[in-house]
Amino acid sequence: MPQQSGTLVQFSGKRGELFGRLLRGYLLMLPTLGLYRFWLTTTKRRFYWQNTAIGGDRLEYTGSAVQLLVGFLFALGIFLPIYLVFFYLSFQSSTIATVGYGAAALLLWFLSGYAIYRGRDFRLSRTLWRGIRFDQRGSALGYAIRRFFWSLLVLVTGGLAFPFMAGNLWRYRYTHTWFGDRQFSFAGSWKTVAWPFYRAWLVFAVCAGLVILAFTFAPGADARIASIGWGTLVLIPVAGLCFLYYRSRETSRMFSAVKLGGASVDIRVKARSLLGQYLLYGVCLLGALIVMGIVGFAIAQMFNSSLRGGDFSAANIARAGWVGLVLGAGGYLATLSAFTLLGEVFIDCGFWMLVSRYATITNLESLDDVRATGEDRSVAGEGLADALNVGSF
Amino acid sequence: MPLLARYSDGTVAAIRDVVLAVDQSVAQPELIIADTTSYDEIDRWPLDKVFSLPSHQSELRVGVEDRPAGARLVFTGPEPVSVAHSIFPELHRYRRREAGRQLRILGFSTLALVSVIVAYVVGVPLIANRVTAVVPPQWEARLGDAAQGQIMQIIGAEGGFAVCDYDPQSLANAAIARFTAEVMDGTNSPFTPKIWMVKSEVPNAFALPGGSAFYFSALLDQTHSADEFAGVMAHELGHVVHRHGMEGLIASSATGLLVGFVLGDMTNISVAAAVGATLIDSRFSRDAEREADRFAAETAARLGFDPAALATLLERIARDDQMSQSLAFLSTHPLTAERRVALEAMARDATPSAHGPVFTDAEWRAIKSMCDRVVPSQMPRPDKTPSVRVQPMPSN
């Protein structure tokens, strides 16, 4: 095989710009009662797509907010019957209700697989590069069934079946992905991720085992409680590190197994780069929360001073109640927004940056003769994902 | 200086650099797209059919009508971008039209959502009322049965669940049963309520869907007169008569649907959805409280006890709780002062009846001492207790 010089993927997006777009979108969601979220998703995707250039040509996102809105309305049609079933179940005896709720939970889990696939279809079919559209075929139902039963197997085997699930689902996704009339292929399998997964699994299992041992042989109740406390303190970072290690390896190896005809991609994402993004997120989140706490406290002090003045009239008490309510609701919304907003800026955007920074594409020229296929105008694609809260990017 | 751009025709992925020129000689001016080296003409785009697309700030990306959807010209850099802007006359109009369209859609859908919410807030008590009317009473009773264990567990965890007096023939229970029957007389309610006096440290009383109500011993301790007792009982039976537990369930289901729509999380798993739903539901609960108060006042007029005694008891309980005063508009219960005014107004409007005292002195003394000698260990078996309870309608 002739040695090809790789083409780099360039990402020119800045976190500050994304932050600005998100902040504006979050604020606009207030007067529009949340409806602006469809426009925010669109502007966010434009940011990612427009800033990503392959071979010097930027990606283009052709989807619109109205399509997302209409898709969401479609999804409501699916949810209303489920809602009625939930309502009916609440009248039944506890056995029937328990079984019914369990079945409904399984149905929602199943539907989320369907929604994820349709959402991916929506995004791909609205991605344009060099005038040619990506697409996803295959059956969302088929994907949902696979994901559903694989995830049950993963649960039953205590996670050991996970590499098989990952291999299977990655293969399904990518062998049904198209660029124009050219089909992607996937050279990976469970073996691609087996080693990093089982290594991470084993490290976590050994640590968890040690904690259980410490708990079992701890002398006395106090020592037991201490062993639980210290155990949790150790296990959470271990689990986080194992997750980041695995995620970096899965991203690198699985993406590198994706081929598009003669073109292939090579990605090397390091676990420590991922960890860096999370640490940055943690620091900024902490800073944001501290600042918000100080501001909230200052406002509360300002209004409380009138109460401390001894004016206990009903109107004053009621006003204090309103101030408390506004502070509480505002603080709640601000805190929630800080978590998601900074999460998008540092973790999601950081991940996109890492993947594009460390991606090299080989034999990009082989795509020159790819031809376009017909348009995909289906809009029902992503509404369900939005309704189920499983949307991404 | 020639105007250069990146060109893709929307049918093949091969992209090329092109040089552009405007042909003014034809009736509709056209843009000539030609190869940079050979100057061979590739395509001609009618200038007024060219529209811009959202793109990175460093470039201008345009498409054209009547060509494949992916046909693009991309101008990069400030100089080519500004030249391109001056060439295409319709670019700004297209962009403005699109922006206007988006704004209109967003505005109209927000208006639609606002009207849905207004219709909901106004209409849900009506809807819940109507729906409740068609829900079979047996369903409501079964609903009570379903959560029976839960309530007992919750109360049991607080230090033992014990019914104060099991004997239905005792003076106290007989008096309560007679009072209940008098209250329910003529209400056309499908339920035959039973009131349970229960040992508990929490001063509370609540009605359950399907007909019955609990009255906790801690509340009984604070109840100083037979009229206060009758007022609370009549209030709780008002919840039963109006089937508020059922209405509340229907209303909160509808609220969940609405909040899910606003937040885009139909599963209502997120905290935001839960908090939003609670805030809206509390308004509905307060309407239910007012309705139960009205029922209590009407009953008081009919049976001849003091309707304001209920408010007296409420004030006694809430007196030390400044916080609950200031946040009362948030809670499920209206301000007690407001309730007192309303109760007294309703009492003034009613014609007092000639009915005698609702409880004799002996009966009231028996009721008051019902829970004095209870050992909190007699957990009644769920299958022995009558078909009622659940979904506490917290009240008092």
Which residues face B216 on adjacent strands? Answer: B198
Rounded mean pLDDT, B135-149: 72
B106 located within any domain: no
Question: What is chain A's Cα-based Rg?
Answer: 25
* Contacts B110 to A, Cβ<8 Å: 31-33, 35
Question: What pLDDT is stored for residue B124 in this prediction?
Answer: 72
Same domain, A290 and A235: no
* Contacts A314 to B, Cβ<8 Å: 337
Per-residue pLDDT tens digits for B329-365: 444 455 566 777 777 777 676 666 656 678 888 899 8
Per-residue pLDDT tens digits for B365-388: 888 888 876 554 444 444 333 333
Place of tokens 């007192």: B340
- The number of angstroms, rounded, from the C-alpha of B268 to the middle of its chain's C-alpha atoms is 11
The CA distance from B166 to B299, in Å, is 27
Flag if B106 and A39 touch (Cβ within 8 Å): yes
Rounded mean pLDDT, B43-54: 91
Q: Across chain A, which distance is largest between two alpha carbons, in Å? A: 87
Same domain, B329 and B190: yes
Q: How many domains does chain B have?
A: 2
Which of A46, A49, A367 shows the shortest CA–CA distance to A180?
A367
CA angle centred on B165, ends B159 and B168, rounded to 5°: 145
A354 located within any domain: yes
Per-residue pLDDT tens digits for A356-383: 989 999 999 999 999 988 766 555 556 6
The CA distance from A107 to A83, in Å, is 12
Q: Residue A389 above 60 pLDDT?
A: no
Same domain, B144 and B243: yes
Among B30, B60, B89, identify where a domain stops.
B89
10 Å CB burial of residue B16 (0-12, 13-18, 19+) is middle
pLDDT interval class at A287 (50, 70, 90): very high
Question: What is chain B's Cα-based Rg?
Answer: 36
Same domain, A305 and A338: yes
Same domain, B74 and B142: no
Same domain, B215 and B155: yes
Residue B31: give its domain's CATH number.
2.30.29.30
Question: What pLDDT is stored for residue B303 in this prediction?
Answer: 86
Q: Does B77 touch chain A (CB under 8 A)?
A: no
Please, what is the average pLDDT of chain A?
A: 86
Please, what is the average pLDDT of chain B?
A: 77
H-assigned helices in chain B? 78-87, 91-134, 137-146, 148-157, 171-184, 217-222, 226-241, 244-263, 271-303, 308-318, 322-326, 336-349, 361-368
A391 located within any domain: no
Rounded mean pLDDT, B52-60: 91
3-state SS string over B141-169?
HHHHHHCHHHHHHHHHHCCCCEECCCCCC
CA distances from B206 to A153, A307, A384, B132, B213 (A): 46, 34, 40, 19, 6
B121 located within any domain: no
Q: Which own/partner pairs from B368-374 qualify as long-range (CB within 8 Å, at least 24 positions apart)?
A: B368/B220, B368/B223, B370/B164, B370/B165, B370/B172, B370/B197, B370/B217, B370/B220, B371/B164, B371/B165, B371/B197, B371/B199, B371/B217, B371/B220, B374/B162, B374/B164, B374/B199, B374/B217
Which of B193, B173, B223 shows the shortest CA–CA distance to B368?
B223
| Chain A: closest CA distance from residue B175 (Å) | 33
Question: What pLDDT is stored for residue B268 in this prediction?
Answer: 47
A83 located within any domain: no
Rounded mean pLDDT, B278-301: 78
Question: What pLDDT is stored for residue B328 in this prediction?
Answer: 43
Q: Does B278 touch chain A (CB under 8 A)?
A: no
| Chain B: closest CA distance from residue A219 (Å) | 30
pTM to 2 decimals?
0.76
Contacts for B329 with CB less than 8 Å, ≥ 6 apart: A318, A321, B335
Among B29, B57, B89, identify where a domain stops.
B89
The better pLDDT of the pair A126, B146 is held by: A126
Q: How many domains does chain A have?
A: 2
Q: Which domain holds residue A237?
A: 191-256
Starting at the edge strand that comes first in sequence, how are the strands of the sheet with B3-8 ordered? B41-46, B30-35, B16-23, B3-8, B72-76, B59-64, B50-53
Among A199, A221, A256, identify where a domain stops.
A256
Q: Which domain holds residue B21?
A: 3-89
Question: What pLDDT is stored for residue B153 in this prediction?
Answer: 63
Q: Which of A24-38, A233-247, B77-91, B257-271 has the highest mean pLDDT?
A: A233-247
Flag if B265 and A370 touch (Cβ within 8 Å): no
Same domain, B211 and B307: yes
List the single best residue of B143, B321, B326 to mutate versus A (max A Cβ within 10 A). Answer: B326
Residue A29 token pair: 């969601």
Question: What pLDDT is stored for residue A66 in this prediction?
Answer: 87
pLDDT interval class at B160 (50, 70, 90): low
